Structures are given as structure tokens and as C-alpha cells.
Amino acid sequence: MALARGKKAHMDVVRVETKSKIMFSFLSVGWGLLSDIDIESERLRAIGGQRFTLWALARLVGLRKYKGVLSYAKIKDISNLPKPKHPLTIGHSVSQDDALDSPDVEAFFDCDENSDVFSSAVNGKRHSRVDSWYSVNSRRSAFYSTRGSDYHSVTSSGSEMRSPVHACMHGPASHLPSLVSQLPSHWVHEEGEFVMVHVSYQSYIGEDLLFAPSSLLSDGVMWMLIIKAGISRTQVLSFLIGMSQGNHTDGNNEFIKMVPVSAFRIVPEGPNGYLTVDGEMVEYGPIQAEIFPNIVNILVPDTK
């Protein structure tokens, strides 16, 4: 019925970057407890949704903690966010195999001769950040559709060999420093041991998991839940039960807090653990993300 009526709504999309891959997410990014439950309970998939409950109890008994550094750009007043313009204007960006940060500006060009990228290249300036919607971990470009987006490849679709300038496309380039670069001074930094960090940009992350009750489809806010080590198993159990009704963060305490953010970076210490994006496991290591408000249209039910 939604397809027939053509009723649409705007939705935010989050750009996620790991050491070797760029992806675009619509749901959540997780590290720690909830990601452990999601990935490790796969072996019980045959029993359906009850696998999450059973594995949550198992992880509660063997409660883990993860050491690392968490950094985020906190939104001070979510009631006073600027409204995105309609339609969203998406500029040009370019990409190159195995390089998000390239000192060789001659290896890049932009689709638009009036763009900053083109001007910098012809003036011999160094680019500190050149990227796009292209996944640097793939042999071919991964295209994600947005309003008014357009993709042009400079090589044939069947060719495995590409020139240094292999693609140009419309897409949102990152506003963040690279993963190995220093973050802006206004960001908040927390270092220590965590039971979990989970960031969602939708209200529900599961059929009966009301994770972020205040979240909207296109509000430009990511809701970051932080649970620090030192919390008791009883408190973790109350948190897990409370997620079904959305009251798991009522009365934030020294161990649990929910923070509205516009961008974040997680740098785990050690090789063991799980990171998930939209419920799927990604490589374990440094990861950062930022939200692009109002960037796609989705079909929604007619509530009238």
C-alpha cells in the first residue's frame, strides 16, 4: 500500500569508516555486550528470537569488559538543531584504491572543474582527505542510491585494471579527520574499560528492543549508550529487561548513560572482541562514524 500511495519520509544515514572499508548504515554501530550477544547467538539461529534471551543470560554470567578509548562530538541541545535543506545538495567526490589519505594530488581529479578538489589539484596543493561512497576494500565500486546521486566510472565494467583516477561520483565526503589523525578539541574523550558502547539512530534496534525512545528518522542525532566496567550483574539484568519498554536509561548513573552525538570514534585495545554495523560483524579495530541528516527517502505506511 505504501508503494501504491507513494508516501515518503526522509531518513538519516551514517557514514562508518574502519581501517579498510567505508560503509553507510541506517540502524546502529555496536561494541561489547549487545554485539557479543548478536554475533555469538548465531549458532542458535534455529530456535528463532529466543536465541538472544538465552545468550544474554550466558553473557550475563560471563560478563566481559573491553579496554579502549571512546571519543564523541556531543550534541548539547537536541531541541535546537539546524533543519536540513530540501532537497539535499550532494557534491562531487573521488576515490582511489587503498588510499583514503593520499599525498599524490595528481592521482585524483574531480567531475566538476569548478570544485575545490579540481582547483586544489591544478594549483599543486596537497589533499589531506579524499574519499567518496566507494569502499576501498572492494575491487569494484559499491554504489548506494541517494536523491539525485549519479555515478560515472572511467573504466569498463569488466576490467580489473583501473587508472589512478578510476571513478568520480556524487556522494557525501567525510567531515572527520582520518582514523589516525587527531580529533577536534571540543570532542569528549573517555578512556578505560567498558561493558558496551552501542550507538543507534533508530528508536528500535529489534522487534521488542526500544533502544532510543527519543530517536526520529531524520533528526540528525545518534544516541550513544555507554556502560562502563564496574557495573553489577543485577544492574545489567535490569538494563536488558528495561530495553523492552524503553526505560533502560531512566536515572542515568555512574555506570550507564545515554548521550546524543553527531559523530564518534571507538579505538579498542587488544585483538579480541566484536564490532557490528547494522547487526553485521565488521573488522575489529578503530572505527569512526558521522551522521548525514535527511539524505535518503524511504516509503512509509499511510497512518491516516
Residues 213 and 293 in one domain: yes
CATH number, domain of 206, equals: 2.60.200.40
**Does pLDDT of 168 surpass 80?**
no
Least confident of 10-14, 87-91, 276-280: 87-91
Residues 202 and 225 in one domain: yes
CA 159 to mean position of chain CA atoms: 31
Q: Which of 261, 257, 266, 260 is CA-nearest to residue 285?
A: 266
Question: Which neighbouring-strand residues pair with 196?
Answer: 32, 227
Look up the domain containing 261 and give its range.
10-82+182-299
Number of domains in the chain: 2
Q: Which of 119, 113, 120, 111 is CA-nearest to residue 93?
A: 111
User: What grid cell was written down for 299?
Assistant: 516509503
Residue whose entry in the numeric block shows the C-alpha cell 574523550: 189
Q: How far apart are CA 212 and CA 30, in angstroms?
A: 14
**Does pLDDT of 265 surpass 70?**
yes
User: Which of 148, 171, 194 is where one domain is finished?
Assistant: 171
Q: How far apart are CA 189 and CA 254, in angstroms?
A: 16
Are residues 231 and 248 in contact, defined by beta-carbon separation less than 8 angstroms? no
Q: How far apart are CA 18 and CA 241, in angstroms?
A: 32
Q: How confident is the model at residue 33 (pLDDT cuts 50, 70, 90)?
A: very high
Q: How far apart are CA 73 and CA 69, in angstroms?
A: 14
User: Which of 171, 199, 222 is where one domain is finished?
Assistant: 171
Residues 72 and 156 in one domain: no
Q: Does residue 1 lie within any of the structural domains?
A: no
Residues 243 and 286 in one domain: yes
Residues 188 and 209 in one domain: yes
User: What grid cell was written down for 199?
Assistant: 550507538
At residue 83, the pLDDT reads 65
Residues 95 and 226 in one domain: no
Return the half-sphere exposure (C-beta side, CA atoms, 13 A cut-off) of residue 155: 14
Beta strands in the chain (DSSP E): 8-17, 22-25, 28-32, 66-74, 92-94, 151-153, 167-170, 188-200, 204-206, 209-210, 222-228, 256-268, 275-277, 280-282, 287-299
User: What grid cell was written down for 158?
Assistant: 569488466
pLDDT digits (tens, 9 = 90+) for 45-73: 999 888 999 999 999 999 999 999 999 99
% pLDDT > 70, the chain: 67
Neighbours of 207 (CB within 10 A): 8
User: What grid cell was written down for 131?
Assistant: 574519499
Residues 199 and 293 in one domain: yes
Average pLDDT over every residue of 185-202: 97
Q: Does residue 230 lie within any of the structural domains?
A: yes
Angle at 252 (CA atoms; ends 246, 256), nearest 5 degrees: 85
In a 3-state reduction of DSSP, which class is residue 106? helix
At residue 139, the pLDDT reads 31
Residues 244 and 163 in one domain: no
pLDDT digits (tens, 9 = 90+) for 94-123: 443 444 443 333 333 334 444 443 334 334
- Is the pTM for the entire model greater than 0.75? no
